[in-house]
């Protein structure tokens, strides 16, 4: 059985419902799944070129909130949850450890903001994805052995061995120069909510060298090598981005 807590309009935050969710789940002895539909769910759908087309009817049904609408919402999010938890054979080519190593070594803000500031950033935007950087703070502190006040409060980096991070070198956050024997191809989707096109355009502009090319897809989302289907509605068909990369 699933229960949905809805509050506010499209893109509204459900942060102040979290205590209610915990209480309800506890009072029902954990026999019921308690969900919200907020800005986190919307951006998850927005990043998928197929699922994003369902946002208007989902928002409409949420606002109307008739009994049949709740059934539709329940089926939709149950399917999304199952899809996200399903592991494919190719999952062996994805390394969470490697991703964390790169993110925590090169992309985390320094000095590290407090947990409350990171949470406010996440909950105060119209749409965001996943659970937010603030929920990864304990893992970051464990990986990095960061001595900031935020990490010292959590106290998870007091082990003897070295942290699982590497030092930023002289090339970190610097504009790259394209070697004479190399070329650069930048692929970008203009409907990408995760890595916005404006950032790709900025990267392309400041790449030093002339042997470069950028291809921007007007209606592509994240991951242009797979989100640029040649035939609309066929996610398993040929992708224009992949053909560009292989050409």
**Local structure of residue 177 (DSSP, 8 states):** B
Residues of the chain with pLDDT under 70: 1-44, 79-94, 126-132
Q: Are 173 and 137 in contact (CB under 8 A)?
A: no
Gap between the Cα atoms of 144 and 157, Å rounded: 7
pLDDT given at position 164: 95
112-123 tens-digit pLDDT? 888 888 888 877
Does the predicted model carry a pTM greater than 0.85? no
Q: Count Cβ atoms below 10 Å from residue 205 Cβ, excluding itself.
A: 10
pLDDT given at position 244: 92
Strand partners, 187: 215
pLDDT given at position 32: 55
pLDDT given at position 62: 78
pLDDT given at position 60: 86
pLDDT given at position 9: 47
């Amino acid at each position: 059985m699933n229960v949905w807590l809805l509050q506010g309009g499209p893109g509204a935050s459900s942060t102040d419902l979290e205590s209610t969710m915990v209480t309800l789940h506890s009072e029902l002895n954990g026999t019921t799944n308690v969900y919200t539909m907020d800005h986190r769910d919307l951006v998850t759908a927005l990043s998928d070129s197929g699922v994003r087309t369902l946002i208007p009817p989902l928002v409409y049904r949420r606002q109307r909130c008739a009994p049949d609408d709740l059934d539709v919402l329940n089926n939709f999010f149950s399917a999304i949850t199952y899809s996200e938890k399903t592991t494919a054979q190719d999952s062996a080519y994805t390394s969470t450890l490697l991703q964390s190593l790169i993110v925590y070594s090169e992309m985390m803000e320094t000095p590290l903001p407090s947990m409350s500031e990171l949470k406010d950033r996440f909950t105060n935007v119209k749409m965001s994805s996943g659970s937010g950087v603030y929920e990864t703070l304990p893992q970051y502190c464990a990986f990095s052995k960061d001595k900031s006040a935020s990490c010292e409060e959590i106290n998870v980096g007091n082990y003897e061995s070295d942290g699982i991070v590497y030092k930023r070198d002289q090339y970190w956050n610097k504009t790259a120069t394209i070697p004479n024997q190399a070329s650069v191809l930048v692929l970008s989707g203009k409907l990408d909510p995760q890595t916005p096109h404006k950032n790709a355009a900025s990267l392309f502009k400041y790449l030093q060298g002339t042997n470069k090319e950028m291809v921007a897809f007007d209606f592509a989302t994240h991951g242009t090598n797979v989100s640029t289907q040649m035939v609309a509605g066929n996610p398993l068909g040929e992708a224009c981005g992949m053909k560009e990369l292989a050409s």
